Amino acid sequence: MSYEKNGNEVVGFVKLTSRLRSPVVLLTLIGIAGLTIRLYYFPYNIPLTLDALLYFWFATDVSTLGYIPPSYSFPNNFWPIIVSGVFSIIKFTAWTDYMDLQRMLTVAISLITIIPLYFLLKKFVEYQYALIGVTLFILDPRVIQNSLSGLTDPLFVFLGTITLALFLNKKKWLVYASFATLGLFSLTRYEGLLLFIPLTIMFLVRFRRDKVLVKYAIAFTIFILVLTPLAYIRVQTTGNDGLISHVIAGTEVATEDIVPDSTTNKFSIVKGLEIFVRLGAWSSFPTYFLFVIPGIYLLFRNGNYEKHLIILASAAFLLPALYASSRSIEETRYFLMISIVFNIAAVLTISKIIERFGHKKSIFFVVILFAITASAIFLYWKTDNQHERDSVRIAEEVIKRTAVINDYHPESIYLRTVGFNEHQDFAGKKAEIQDRVVTLFTSEYLTLEEFLAYGKSQGLQYLIVDNQENRPTFLIDVFNNESKYPYLTKDFDSADAGLDYHVKIFKINYNLMGLEAN
């Protein structure tokens, strides 16, 4: 009996070990690890800003009104429409809770991206390497930061990844489904339309001997049927479809303003190429930079159908990044979709290293340890939620005193949300809240006296200064040598409030300057 009992225990242990090593269990554990990291860095009670704030306003107003207000004319509104649906179901009293919810949605979407990514990677490598690739993605600090932003990017990356994974599936109905997700991909960000070209080329190649025109007509119809409803609503609301209209507009900018070494035009391909190469390299850091070059070589070597698709898709993903760079937009978020290609290149490199040298477990351990360490260092370097919370507090101090202040970007972005505190019911009050404080730019002025002469005419009564490097020298001098300016009386010092972000707010006495006060 003891031998039988011991045998059953061994069998049970083997079954448990086998289950723990199953892809489903491992993907779940990877997802839990990714969620834990994101919750640790989650910017609780820090307002959304810039594009994310615009999407918030759109979602709030649509969930309240039940339709898209004509004032929202931006094209990429599929994501905020989804958010508006969630806002309609889940109700809060505090505006910060709604903003946190928007961020939690992007976190959730970022996490579930590991599922289509796993199946996509399996088209190139064995499942163990695919799990390594998924781990690299979930630990990528840029992906982590972006998932906390409330922006369209996590949904864009998710839909782009699932489109590629479905398209490479052997089942025809899943290939057709990829054209449906391609439509959603394009509705999320209109540059997603560019992926239609490589998918069309590879579809025609794949089914060239099997009634290809009939099959392509079905795929194309599915794509159009997904695009049409929201495109129609956009036309009725804003006068353009937010798809072809914006692709054409972007092309016109590129063709009309493409002047080499131009410093005045909107579009400069020479400057754009420099920015593009720099940001492209920087976007591979720190997770993929060791693997990208050999991985790209492996993509081009011994090409097959799957590799050809990724190469063509890479061109579609890189064109928007090149366009943004040529317009001097220096944001790595335009390279997020190409990070999926970096991920494929990484697993190809890792698999080739193991194939040549062996020691699979040791190399897996080193790669994961490297990813964890690099991510932790990068996030420590690039994430400062305390500074953001201090900036929110400073904005609250500004609004207590005045409705006009000099600009102190980027910290001044919270002036566009501090007005929420004055409205319990904030739906439909976008202009009233965002324009609660007027900011005056100092960049055109060489001296403090010149700026204050202009400020007096605009109703400026207070001056805010800090010691950030991007400030005009005359404002930094006020911060460091306040006793030199008898017409400025210090009204607030953040050091006295225990804030790490050191800011001073001065009351301006125009009479002492020789300028009559308003």
> For the residues 210-227, what does the mean pLDDT come to?
95
Contact 68, 77 (CB under 8 A): yes
Q: Which residues pair with 508 in a beta bridge?
A: 488
339 vs 335: CA distance, rounded Å: 7
Contact 129, 352 (CB under 8 A): no
- Identify the pLDDT of residue 257: 57
- Token pair for residue 37? 């990291």
Confidence check: pLDDT of 14 > 50? no
Give the type of residue at 108.
A
466 vs 296: CA distance, rounded Å: 46
Give the type of residue at 304.
N
Task: Write out pLDDT tens, residues 496-509.
Answer: 999 999 999 999 99
- Token pair for residue 314? 């890479």
- Identify the pLDDT of residue 276: 95
Task: Write out pLDDT tens, residues 141-164.
Answer: 999 999 999 999 999 999 999 999
Could you tell me the pLDDT band of residue 201, with boundaries at 50, 70 and 90?
Answer: very high
Mean pLDDT of the residues in the chain? 91
Q: Which of 234-238, 241-245, 314-318, 360-364 has the highest mean pLDDT?
A: 314-318
Contact 356, 350 (CB under 8 A): no
Task: Write out pLDDT tens, residues 173-196.
Answer: 999 999 999 999 999 999 999 999
Task: Write out pLDDT tens, residues 402-421.
Answer: 999 999 999 999 999 999 98
Query: Percent of the chain at pLDDT above 70?
Result: 92
Give the type of residue at 145.
Q
- Identify the pLDDT of residue 517: 52
Q: Residue 356: which of 298, 303, 284, 289 has the closest Cα?
A: 298
Task: Write out pLDDT tens, residues 65-109.
Answer: 888 888 888 889 999 999 999 999 999 989 999 999 999 999 999
Confidence check: pLDDT of 13 > 70? no
Q: What is the CA radius of gyration of the chain?
A: 27
Dihedral of alpha carbons 419, 78, 28, 132, sign: negative
Q: How far apart are the first and last CA of the chain?
A: 99
Contact 206, 305 (CB under 8 A): yes
- Identify the pLDDT of residue 9: 52
Confidence check: pLDDT of 299 > 90? yes
> For the residues 317-343, what does the mean pLDDT come to?
94
186 vs 405: CA distance, rounded Å: 40
Contact 382, 145 (CB under 8 A): yes
311 vs 465: CA distance, rounded Å: 50
> For the residues 335-359, what does the mean pLDDT come to?
95
Contact 438, 499 (CB under 8 A): no
- Identify the pLDDT of residue 254: 61
Q: Residue 83: which of 48, 39, 35, 36 has the closest Cα?
A: 48
Q: Which residues contact 464 (CB under 8 A, 6 or more apart)?
A: 394, 398, 405, 406, 408, 503, 504, 505, 506
Strand pairing class (488-493; 503-508): antiparallel
18 vs 29: CA distance, rounded Å: 15
Q: CB-hemisphere CA count at 13 Å for 282?
A: 12
- Token pair for residue 85? 């649906």
Query: In sequence order, which ranges of 195-291 are alpha helices (DSSP H)?
Result: 196-206, 212-238, 244-256, 269-283
Q: Which residues contact 241 (CB under 8 A, 6 or more apart)?
A: 231, 232, 234, 235
Could you tell me the pLDDT band of residue 20, with boundaries at 50, 70 and 90?
Answer: low
Confidence check: pLDDT of 5 > 70? no
432 vs 24: CA distance, rounded Å: 49
Confidence check: pLDDT of 225 > 50? yes
Task: Write out pLDDT tens, residues 27-77.
Answer: 999 999 999 999 999 999 999 999 999 999 999 999 998 888 888 888 899
| Pick from 216-225, 359-368, 453-462, 494-503: least confident | 359-368
Angle at 108 between CA 104 and CA 111, to 5 degrees: 135
Task: Write out pLDDT tens, residues 239-280.
Answer: 887 788 767 766 666 666 555 544 555 678 889 999 999 999
- Identify the pLDDT of residue 262: 47
- Identify the pLDDT of residue 46: 96
Contact 412, 395 (CB under 8 A): yes
Give per-residue burial for 354-377: e unless 16+ CB within 10 Å, then b. Answer: beeeeeeeebbeebeeebeebbee
| Pick from 3-7, 129-133, 342-346: least confident | 3-7
Could you tell me the pLDDT band of residue 424, with boundaries at 50, 70 and 90?
Answer: confident
Confidence check: pLDDT of 19 > 80? no
Could you tell me the pLDDT band of residue 459, with boundaries at 50, 70 and 90?
Answer: very high
Angle at 339 between CA 337 and CA 343, to 5 degrees: 130
Confidence check: pLDDT of 120 > 60? yes
Could you tell me the pLDDT band of residue 514, with boundaries at 50, 70 and 90?
Answer: confident
Confidence check: pLDDT of 221 > 50? yes
Residue with tokens 């109905």, as numbered in its chain: 173
| Pick from 250-254, 311-315, 398-402: least confident | 250-254
Angle at 189 between CA 282 and CA 257, to 5 degrees: 70
Q: What is the pTM of this model?
A: 0.92
